[in-house]
Structure 1
Amino acid sequence: MSRVGAVILAAGLSTRMGRFKPLVPLAGKPLFHYAAETALAAGLSPVVLVGGHRMRELAASAAPFGARIEIAENPAYRTGMASSLRTGIAALADRTDAALVFLADQPLVPRAVVDALLREYVRSRGEGVRIVRPAYSGAPGHPVLFDAGLYAAFETLGGDEGGRSILVRHRSALRVVPFGDAAWGLDADTPEGLAELEARLAREEGGPGPG
């Protein structure tokens, strides 16, 4: 089995939310805990939490996970998501064959999604697939799996583009795995988005959990 790690992006300023998103409570726990729990439940290792803004508070909130989560500080977080991606990938590059990139503000992604992406990666890597991405009711989503052969491409990213340019340049190596539940792709980017997530959890017994 390939060594697959996780990068959880939690370094931004959360300007649209008005509060620091990773630490916003949802059903009794900080928002980023959902992604962390899902990554750990799926057996990903290492799990790297990339922080920047309010770094001390983020690290304190991650303390209950102990050594199961590594924290990487991105001092250039104000420049955009690309710097956080570079930081996270660099933190696990020499220890993994692939990495799944999670967003800290998407708490409803279940372990079943991660497991399906891993299966597809293992199954299709021999066919040249190097990126595996979920689609929720047709909409591209996260987490996105990148093979280690693409890690060097992250070094050239800039600004707030995220990994879009890598996806475009390597579209022939991309495999999309479809899922029917659009809610799995919901994020807490705004207060309205958070309210929608809270309503969704209120309708589900026990919340999304890690799997």
Structure 2
Amino acid sequence: MNNLSGLYILLAAGFSRRFGSPKQLHTLPSGSSIINTAIDALTKSGCDFVVAIREDDTALLAHLHHLNISIIKVKNAEQGLSSVIAEATEALHTRATDWIGICLADMPYIQSKTLTDLTSYVTPNTIIRPSYQGKPGHPVLFGRDYFDELTQLAGDDGAKSIIKRFPDALQAIDVEDSMVLYDIDKPESVR
């Protein structure tokens, strides 16, 4: 890690429509839930993080209640992923942080070492994205200079518009973790 302060936002505010049931609580073959597996990786990384969930997701809130983690309850999840990112970033505006990393809860197999290693590349004016065998992955880390952009996002396209608008700021970091490409959208994706 570098000396800049930052944190990951673990986005767990989706509706799991393609999955067919609340996937964050789905048990993986390891015996742990999808959300707990993602939280474990973040915890082991040594990085600060918060979990963004829908304010009306009582099942997930009850599940997370016993864990000693910070939670952001978002109101506008039905408007899409971009809106969740904007609302979560806005909720963090009072924190003194130099970067924010956007993690997706349905990508629980990303190695904690990858999460840690990516932080060493971020500066206030960069966007850091892992790349596995030339393919862009997640999480994406945004330096402080892009926080206002993050809070203005709307819709369901994530932060793609920021990445497209600032191509010179984007640094693709080669990683050996294929899980930066692997998400669980459907039950058959579970492994």
- Structure 1-normalised TM-score? 0.82
Q: Which residue number corresponds to residue 30 of structure 1?
A: 33
Q: Secondary structure at the match of 1:11?
A: coil
Rounded to whole Å, the distance in 1 between the matches of 2:56 and 2:184 is 18
Is 1:145–2:141 an aligned residue pair? yes
Name which of 147, 152, 155 aligns with 1:156: 152
Q: Which amino acid aligns with 2:72?
A: A
Query: Is contact 1:48–1:92 with CA below 8 Å preserved after alignment?
Result: no
Tell me, yes or no, if the aligned pair for 1:48 and 1:91 is still in contact at 8 Å.
no
Structure 2 SS opposite 1:120: coil
Deviations 1:109-148, CA, capped at 9 Å, x for gaps:
0011112211122xxx3xx751111012222111111112
2:6 and 2:100 in contact (8 A); partners too: yes
Q: Is the 8 A contact 2:125 2:144 kept in 1?
A: no
Q: What one-letter code is carried by the residue in structure 2 that aligns with 1:33?
A: N
Q: Secondary structure at the match of 1:29?
A: coil
The runs of at least 4 consecutive aligned structure 1 residues that moved more than 6 Å come to: none
CA 38–154 in structure 1, closer or farther in 2 if over 3 Å, else same: same
Give the drift of 1:54: 5.3
Q: How does 1:86-101 map to 2 (within 5 A)?
A: 86-95=86-95, 96-101=97-102
Q: Is the 8 A contact 1:129 1:174 kept in 2?
A: no
Deviations 1:49-81 (A, max 9, x none): 111175111112112322xx2111112111100
* Identical-pair percentage: 30
What corresponds to 1:112 in structure 2?
Answer: 113
Gaps of at least 5 residues in structure 2 are: none
Amino acid at match of 1:118: T
Instruction: State the SS of the aligned residue for 1:28.
Output: coil
Q: Distance in 2 between matches of 1:30 and 1:191?
A: 13
State the alpha-carbon separation in 1 of the partners of residues 112 and 42 from structure 2. 7
More helix by share: 1
Distance in structure 1 (CA, Å) of the matches to 2:189 and 2:65: 27
Match of 2:50 in 1: 48
One-letter amino acid matched to 2:19:
M
Judging changes above 3 Å, is the alpha-carbon distance between structure 1 residues 25 and 53 closer, same or farther for their aligned structure 2 residues?
farther
TM-score, L = length of structure 2: 0.90
Cα separation, 2, equivalents of 1:38 and 1:56: 24
Aligned residues: 187
RMSD between aligned residues: 1.7
- Whether the 8 Å contact between 1:13 and 1:53 is mirrored in structure 2 is no
State the alpha-carbon separation in 2 of the partners of residues 18 and 53 from structure 1. Answer: 20
The one-letter amino acid paired with 2:6 is V
Please give the secondary structure, in 2, of the residue aligned with 1:60.
helix
Indicate the larger mover: 32-41 or 76-85.
32-41
Contact 1:129/1:175 (<8 A) preserved: no
Do residues 182 (structure 1) and 178 (structure 2) align?
yes
d(CA) in 1 for partners of 2:63, 2:5: 27
> Gapped runs of 5+ residues in structure 1?
199-211
Task: Indicate if the aligned counterparts of 1:22 and 1:32 stay in contact, CA closer than 8 A.
Answer: yes
